[in-house]
Amino acid sequence: MQGSYNLAGQFGHTTIEADGRLCVCGNRGCWELYASNHATVQRFYALKKKSFDGSPILEMQKIITAAFNGDEDAISAIRETGRYLGIGISNIIKGIYPAIVVLGGVITSAWDLIYPEIIKEIRSRVFFEQNVSRKIIPTSLKERSSLVGAFTLAIKEIFSGYKITI
């Protein structure tokens, strides 16, 4: 899916908060400002009342480890990312109704935290969706999924650190 000017599939820059933060693309409230690794790291540091200027991907791994060790702020920051992932994926489902959605990137190592949030949002927002729990899978399960024989449409990139294949 390329579209005119090779610009199709930029779901990371679709609006998810009407009066949200200003994005580098010029829009306000872009999905990636709320669901990317960077957003998760910023959320975590805001909860800790600290500032951050390092590598979001490296920091994400630390935050996921902290969550596994019971850090409530890390758990909360990651769950909120799951919620925003669910909202954005709901929009994709309504737009193109994919057979499956495969989510990749470091965030998938916190699958037990994000998956329930993703599913909750989709169930509350996509009324015609029947089998949502079988539709959303992490990259690590892709090879094992019997659903991956279906027609798939690859979107190049959603936002930094993540890939979503539909």
Give the residues lining the site for Zn ion (CB under 5 A). Answer: 13, 23, 25, 27, 30
Closest approach, Cβ 22 to Zn ion, in A, equals: 9
- For Zn ion, which is the closer residue by CB, 115 or 159? 159
Between 88 and 138, CB nearer to Zn ion:
88
- Rounded Cα distance between 95 and 149, Å, is 21
Strand partners, 15: 30
Least separation, in Å, of the C-beta of 129 and Zn ion? 26
Distance CA 127, CA 113 (A): 23
CB-CB contact of 46 with 29 (8 Å): no
Q: Is the Cβ–Cβ distance between 122 and 132 less than 8 Å?
A: yes
Q: How far is the CB of 20 from Zn ion (least distance, A)?
A: 10
Nearer to Zn ion, 119 or 155 (CB): 155
3-state SS assignment for residue 154: strand
Using the minimum distance from each CB to Zn ion, give the nearer residue, 16 or 30: 30
Give the shortest CB-88-to-Zn ion separation in angstroms. 12
Structure tokens at 133: 């729990």
Q: Which of 32, 4, 2 is nearest to 17 (CA)?
A: 32
